[in-house]
Amino acid sequence: MSHDTTRRDLLKSAAIGAVAIAPGLTLIAPPAQARAPGQPASAANRWGLLIDTRKCGSVCTACVDACKTEMGLPALDRPATDAQYIRKVDVKDPKTGHQHSLPVMCQHCAKPPCVDVCPTGASMKRADGIVLVDRHICIGCRYCMMACPYKARSFAHEDQSGQKDHNPRGKGCVESCTLCVHRIDAGGQPACVEACSKDGGAAMLFGDLNDPKSEISQRISKEATSRIRADLGVEPAIRYQGI
């Protein structure tokens, strides 16, 4: 633990140095927190998102499109079985007619029901809170899909082609949003967040919920946020504003 903290502090110092030397750069990229190869994920981090639905346009699908490209999810034009790691959900209050739109993906719960029910342990939560499926031991029973309160998971219903190196997919296994773990491990941020800030309404903020100095922690400590189905007590890492 102390090792991680030290490393993070070092990286922060480096980032602060970068701010001092080239202030313009901080507008483009967050401080790099890449893990060294072989170094395990650390419980010192809790990666999460803050999504401001007030900035999320109902017709905008920048995050969804970016995800499909990033993760190599081809559209087979079979909506009932095509994989969707992230989707735009339109929410309407039937009493008032008020509508808003928001992206929903794996909520990377602290107490993930999918991990609880998985018979083999293929559904797993990394130390840094990212929920993943180990495709080597997923037997395709789909119990996790029954258990997920967010319908965040998809089943690979057919042979796969055009796969990305960082997202190997296999017919007969369950899959879902990885929070772009390959990018996070390299010090980057999820593709959806990047696309939202570039082509969308800049509604998504990625960061470390365990770092009190991170922008996301600062915001959630000062602004009202909520989580989808917070009543279930699964403690998602995805927070929303305006829902």
How far is Cα 47 from Cα 200, in angstroms, rounded to an integer? 22
Q: Does 147 bind other proteins (CB under 8 A)?
A: yes
| β-pair partners for 240 | 51, 226
Among 6, 158, 168, 230, binds other proteins (CB under 8 A): 158
Q: Does 79 bind other proteins (CB under 8 A)?
A: yes
Q: Does 190 bind other proteins (CB under 8 A)?
A: no
How far is Cα 160 from Cα 146, in angstroms, rounded to an integer? 23
Q: Does 81 bind other proteins (CB under 8 A)?
A: yes
Q: Does 189 bind other proteins (CB under 8 A)?
A: no
24 vs 79 by CB, closer to other proteins? 79
How far is Cα 132 from Cα 130, in angstroms, rounded to an integer? 6
CA atoms within 13 A on the CB side of 118: 26
Identify which of 201, 209, 200, 214 has the alpha carbon closest to the alpha carbon of residue 227. Answer: 209
Q: Does 142 bind other proteins (CB under 8 A)?
A: yes
Among 138, 177, 203, 220, binds other proteins (CB under 8 A): 138
Radius of gyration of the chain (CA): 18
Q: Which residues contact 105 (CB under 8 A, 6 or more apart)?
A: 67, 85, 86, 87, 152, 176, 177, 192, 238
Q: Does 154 bind other proteins (CB under 8 A)?
A: yes
87 vs 182 by CB, closer to other proteins? 87
Among 31, 35, 145, 187, binds other proteins (CB under 8 A): 145
Q: Which of the residues 89 through 108 are near other proteins (CB under 8 A)?
A: 89-94, 104
Q: Which of the residues 57 through 76 are near other proteins (CB under 8 A)?
A: 64, 76
Q: How far is CA 153 from the centre of its chain?
A: 13
Q: Does 110 bind other proteins (CB under 8 A)?
A: no
Q: Does 240 bind other proteins (CB under 8 A)?
A: no
Structure tokens belonging to residue 113: 């029901």
Which residues make up the interface to other proteins (CB under 8 A)?
64, 76, 78-84, 87-94, 104, 113, 115-122, 137-143, 145-151, 153-159, 170-174, 228-229, 232, 243
